[in-house]
Amino acid sequence: MRILFTKLLHIGDNLLLTPTLVATKEKFPDSEIWVAVRRGTEGILAGCPEIDRIVTTARPEEGRRTWSDFGRDLLTLAEIASTRFDYAFELGDNNRGRILTTASRAKIRCTNSYERPEGIPLSTSWKKRFNRLITTGHGPVHQVHRDYNAVRETLGLPEEPPPMRFVREAMRPSQMEGALKGPLEGASSGSYAVVHAATRWASKSWPLDHWKQVIAALLKRFPQVMISCGPSPREVAEAAILCEGFEGRVLSTEGKLSWAQLATLLGSASLFVGVDTAAMHLASAVQCPSVVLFGHPPAYQFQPWKCSHRVVRSKDTMLETDRYKLPGEQLMQEISVLMVTDAVGSILAERA
């Protein structure tokens, strides 16, 4: 049996799909699982051995696609169209994924069909191209559940999805040592916390001076703090600022680690503190206790999955429908340093 899953979204969304892939492989161990994702996001799936084949498509943003991308996308489409699939699930809720799913000509083609206000209703033309429409299991639930529910009823999976997947066999300690030479030499020795403040979304950003105060508090509990960031010059520069003034006890990854290497770093860390990013989901996948700051989107949908954690957000008692109307920037600005350090103390006390 061959099964196709399409989810052409962001990096962290791919990792949220892994519980569904794990449960599918457990139910059908002889199945061949294909996953279609955005090009450049596939690296975070390196720790999911349940996947047999990954295919990619270009990012959808205008101005970032090239003729080369167009040609490679046609090859991806042709490969899927020429392969026999028994099931195909579109889980990204976008037309690009629906095109790939319908091109598969799978016997069972499944996609979400929303009603307002849960989502944008599926058009009649798209409904005709699928023979299984998922209309339940949406609502205010975690994204893992949304993906899982779309597949569970069709494949008869267990009611509860498993944890996210990033196996230790996929981590690269030897490569880690090479990547950490220079400013990071010896960073993984002893007890340490990982801070990931970097984000490209203003609705998830928190002031750097607040982060420095949190780092100072963490250094009272840990001999060392590691600053994780992506490879963009802005993120690397911000990480460098967070390292300043701590006499070498705060070190940056400088955006040089692969996802497998970052999983190694997080897998040995005592604590992760950061914002809602792919790094946060990776920390959950390797069971690193986490403190996460949330502005938008809702914490119930993207908080750490099946991992010890604390969510920190402002206006937490407000109805979610009302809270979501407020700017994410405002919600993040209203998170105090004390709220974060209290959450750190709470989770460490629990762990102790």
Please write the tens of the pLDDT for every residue from 320-335: 889 989 999 999 999 9
Alpha-carbon gap, residue 302 to 313, rounded angstroms: 13
Q: What is the pTM (predicted TM-score) of this model?
A: 0.92
Please write the tens of the pLDDT for every residue from 204-215: 999 999 999 999
Per-residue burial over 256-286, b = 16 or more CB atoms within 10 Å of its CB, e = otherwise: bbbbbbbbbbbbbbbbbbbbbbbbbbbbbbb
Q: What pLDDT score was predicted for residue 350? A: 93
Please write the tens of the pLDDT for every residue from 212-259: 999 999 999 999 999 999 999 999 999 999 999 999 999 999 999 999
- DSSP assignment of 170-192: G--HHHHHHHT-GGGTTTTSS-E
Q: What pLDDT score was predicted for residue 182? A: 42
Domain-wise residue ranges, the chain: 2-155, 170-351
Q: Do domains 2-155 and 170-351 have the same CATH topology?
A: yes
Q: What pLDDT score was predicted for residue 184? A: 42
Q: What pLDDT score was predicted for residue 70? A: 82
Kindly report the CATH number that applies to the domain delimited by 170-351.
3.40.50.2000
Alpha-carbon gap, residue 4 to 152, rounded angstroms: 14
Please write the tens of the pLDDT for every residue from 333-347: 999 999 999 999 999
Query: Is the separation of the CB atoms in 5 and 100 below 8 Å?
Result: no
pLDDT > 70 in the chain, percent: 93
Q: What pLDDT score was predicted for residue 172? A: 65
Q: What pLDDT score was predicted for residue 63? A: 57
Q: pLDDT-derived band of residue 183, with 50, 70 and 90 as boundaries?
A: very low
Q: Which residues contact 93 (CB under 8 A, 6 or more apart)?
A: 111, 112, 114, 119, 120
2-155 is classed CATH 3.40.50.2000: yes
Alpha-carbon gap, residue 266 to 65, rounded angstroms: 33
- Segment 299-318 mean pLDDT: 95
CA–chain centroid gap for 324, Å, is 21
